[in-house]
A and B are shown apart, each in its own frame.
Chain A
């Protein structure tokens, strides 16, 4: 597996709206965060859902976002975060 990003890299989630079984929540699309860790490579669920192999496996990352970045009106402290698992093809350098 060749991973495009490493822990600490700043990344943005693609602002895309493809049809099908997608595991990137709408609320995080278009937001920028920092790679917390590389989780490994996993079969692509967007393919698995339709009976295909999902291979080659895709790098999966946990990306940490500041809640204030995700929700501009977030009422809590600036240190609050949300971590989300995202497949590499959903991420771009930011």
Chain B
């Protein structure tokens, strides 16, 4: 960029304030683990890097397989974690519940208490998923929230909200878009967006 950067706008605050209670606790525990030789600093960095590198691609792969293979979809609905491992996806100790959108019912995921999210399958959650506004409104007025995401559902489609309050994590299987006969699994996976697997949107139309 050769233009002089002088247009007026507010800059992001530098966050030079004092550390919060939990920031101090994290630093203290991390430094102790390194000092005691339990973990090396590089191992911690690598774990953070690996978590940051996760993306919704694995989730999209699971959904695409479910679209083309009814037996796999049945296994996915019965035991989400086992079905993911079947595809070679490392979801650690996640207890995954897959919920299927149908012409009669649309599923929406939220964690009202914090921000529980199937990170090992979808990567880090979007910022809005962690916001107080989404967390409170998704259970209270889900149809208004969906409409703000551009997802208007007719009244004869039931909205099923899932509040991820404890040990399970949730994956929405969106409906397969029309006019996708003959698509390969990879082509189908490209239509499965992060937001469609949270349930705030439908899968992309090709």
A contacts, CB < 8 Å to B: 23-25, 27-28, 39-40, 42, 45, 60, 62, 67, 70-71, 75-77, 79-87
Contact = CB atoms under 8 A, between A and B. Distances in A.
Contact of B155 (A28, A67, A77, A84): A77
Given A25-B113, A77-B159, A80-B159, 20 more contacts: A25-B165, A27-B112, A27-B139, A28-B163, A39-B166, A39-B168, A60-B167, A76-B159, A77-B158, A79-B158, A80-B143, A80-B158, A81-B159, A81-B160, A81-B161, A82-B160, A83-B160, A84-B163, A85-B167, A85-B168
B165 A86 contact: yes
A44 B100 CA distance: 29
Given A71-B140, A79-B158, A84 B167 contact: no
* Smallest CB-CB A-B distances: 7 pairs: A79-B158, A85-B166, A82-B161, A42-B167, A84-B163, A80-B159, A85-B165
Contacts of A79: 158
A77 B104 CA distance: 12
Interface size class of B (residues with CB under 8 A): 20 to 34
A81 B139 CA distance: 9
Contacts of B159: 67, 76-77, 80-81
B161 A45 contact: no
Nearest to B155: A77
Contacts of B165: 23-25, 84-86
A28 B112 CA distance: 11
A25 B168 contact: no
Contact of A23 (B113, B143, B156): B113
A42 B163 contact: no
B46 to A, nearest CB: 27
Nearest to B135: A25
